[in-house]
Chain A
């Protein structure tokens, strides 16, 4: 049941987003978004270190990137 409602929510999320095709800016207005510190993967090493810590200490992992794994972390 929960999985069904989650799937519905995901579909709703994506369809809302596709409604966003009117959003956005022209190429010459992307100066601020093009700054390296505005990139979503600005700090990949920090993100990976954090993901590894939380993967080892919490039951949930992933979401932002792959759920990861690959260790018998205590």
Chain B
């Protein structure tokens, strides 16, 4: 019910926005499309974006404003500064399975508890966070055919700090029809979970009792490598091909995710402790990912076709395929409509387990995080873009995201429950470039 209301209100808002956009377009039908503003040396160019994101069933909601400032320092030299704020509220799946009995869980702080009704999918509603991120990038020419870039990012939220630096170089050749790109990024993350980082497979304890948690800060290092080539095919089209490599080392657990311990009947195993029998998850402390990405972009008599495909594989045995399709229909007045479809599918991590069984030995690693399960996802969206008389650009977009997991194997009492429900999200975005 709630989900429908939310979808309806988001759709209504978007429709109004689009109607307003269309009315505006009609009004200015006879005006010739203004050219994009030329950014001369010394000029600043600004972009602002606002994202509203909302998941079904009172799960996560986010608002995310972004402000970007770009200064042209010289012919081929730019400084870019970006500030992002990300404010989240709502509830997130805890990883526990539903039961025909009410379940009590201790909040991450260890100071309070919450109860999930019988036959309800367990969500942890403690979740509330604000993140602020700042990024700075400098691009500059090295020689006639070579450009380089240096950047730094910092992102801070209540329980998480991330800092990264990156550098890249690109080289034009073949009459500037081909560009080779190489980039390297190193990130350092420092994690201070609320209530401390849980001990892997530690049993959740009642409020007031010592929790199975560590007091020290956890960290993670990530190294990313990106190699790419961009090639002009003909006057109307070009393609891009990337290989990416990512290696991370350190704390990979989600400190707020747990696994249910079940008996041979598919019910929570009763060990006498008065909170649901759940253990904190345990993931490997390393992950290596490889990715191939190809993109084709074509100018079609004023319209633009933009398609891409990505294949990713990692040593957690997650393979994924992503296909993305955008087509920009140009209108006579310079405005445009752009439908967007994205399809994503992934296999599950080798240590993904929806629950643990008391009568079976504990594995080395296990997580019931729905994001490590097998699922398909589809995004469908529509964007409307228009330019003002001064050459500034507005873009409005509404997108729907739907994730459809493969329901894991169940037994006994568990057969009455949905372990991985489908879920949706609405994304409403407004961009303004000036």
Q: Is the CB of B177 within 8 A of A25?
A: yes
Report the nearest B residue to A26, measured CB to CB: B175
Expressed in whole angstroms, the Cα–Cα distance for A63 and B227 within the complex equals 10
Contacts of A70 on B, CB cut-off 8 Å? Answer: 133, 153, 155, 160, 162, 164, 187, 189
Q: B297 touches which one: A3, A38, A67 (CB < 8 A)?
A: A38
Specify the main secondary structure of chain B where it touches its partner: strand
Contacts of B191 on A, CB cut-off 8 Å? Answer: 72
How many residues of chain B have a CB within 8 Å of chain A? 94
Q: Is the CB of B234 within 8 A of A25?
A: yes
Q: Is the CB of A63 within 8 A of B242?
A: yes
Q: Is the CB of B310 within 8 A of A38?
A: no
CB interface residues, A 5-32, toward B, < 8 Å: 6-7, 9-10, 13-14, 17, 20-21, 23-27, 29-32
Expressed in whole angstroms, the Cα–Cα distance for A63 and B322 within the complex equals 10
CB distance from B219 to the nearest CB of A (A): 12
Contacts of B310 on A, CB cut-off 8 Å? Answer: 60, 63-64
Given contacts A49-B64, A60-B320, A66-B185, contact A35 B222 (CB under 8 A): no
Expressed in whole angstroms, the Cα–Cα distance for A32 and B299 within the complex equals 7
Contacts of B159 on A, CB cut-off 8 Å? Answer: 72
Expressed in whole angstroms, the Cα–Cα distance for A26 and B401 within the complex equals 42
Given contacts A20-B231, A40-B240, contact A62 B289 (CB under 8 A): yes
Contacts of A17 on B, CB cut-off 8 Å? Answer: 178, 229, 231, 241
> Which one of B47-55, B200-208, B271-279, B407-415 is at the interface?
B47-55
Number of A-B contacts (CB under 8 A): 199
Q: B243 touches which one: A13, A23, A29, A52 (CB < 8 A)?
A: A13
> Which of B173, B226, B346 gathers most chain A CB within 10 Å?
B226
Q: Is the CB of B322 within 8 A of A60?
A: yes
Q: A37 touches which one: B233, B243, B328, B371 (CB < 8 A)?
A: B328
CB distance from A19 to the nearest CB of B (A): 10
CB distance from A62 to the nearest CB of B (A): 5
Contacts of A64 on B, CB cut-off 8 Å? Answer: 242, 293, 295, 308, 310
The range of chain A's interface size is 35 or more
Q: Is the CB of B189 within 8 A of A45?
A: no
Contacts of A20 on B, CB cut-off 8 Å? Answer: 178, 231, 233
Expressed in whole angstroms, the Cα–Cα distance for A32 and B314 within the complex equals 38
Instruction: Say yes or no for B418: interface residue by CB 8 A criterion.
Output: no
Instruction: Say yes or no for B244: interface residue by CB 8 A criterion.
Output: yes
Instruction: Say yes or no for B116: interface residue by CB 8 A criterion.
Output: no
Interface 1/0s, chain B 54-82, versus A by CB < 8 A? 00000010001010100000000000001
CB distance from B220 to the nearest CB of A (A): 8
Q: Is the CB of B431 within 8 A of A45?
A: yes
Q: A72 touches which one: B68, B157, B427 (CB < 8 A)?
A: B157
Contacts of A14 on B, CB cut-off 8 Å? Answer: 227, 229, 241, 243
Given contacts A38-B297, A72-B157, A74-B127, contact A62 B241 (CB under 8 A): no
Contacts of A53 on B, CB cut-off 8 Å? Answer: 53, 401, 425, 427
Q: A24 touches which one: B174, B256, B312, B372 (CB < 8 A)?
A: B174
A-B CB contact pairs (8 Å), 19 listed: A9-B292, A14-B227, A14-B229, A20-B178, A21-B174, A21-B178, A24-B175, A25-B232, A27-B176, A40-B230, A54-B344, A57-B403, A59-B349, A60-B320, A62-B226, A65-B226, A66-B185, A67-B222, A70-B162
Residues of chain A whose beta carbon lies under 8 Å from any beta carbon of chain B: 2-3, 6-7, 9-10, 13-14, 17, 20-21, 23-27, 29-33, 35-38, 40, 43-46, 48-49, 52-54, 57-60, 62-67, 69-72, 74
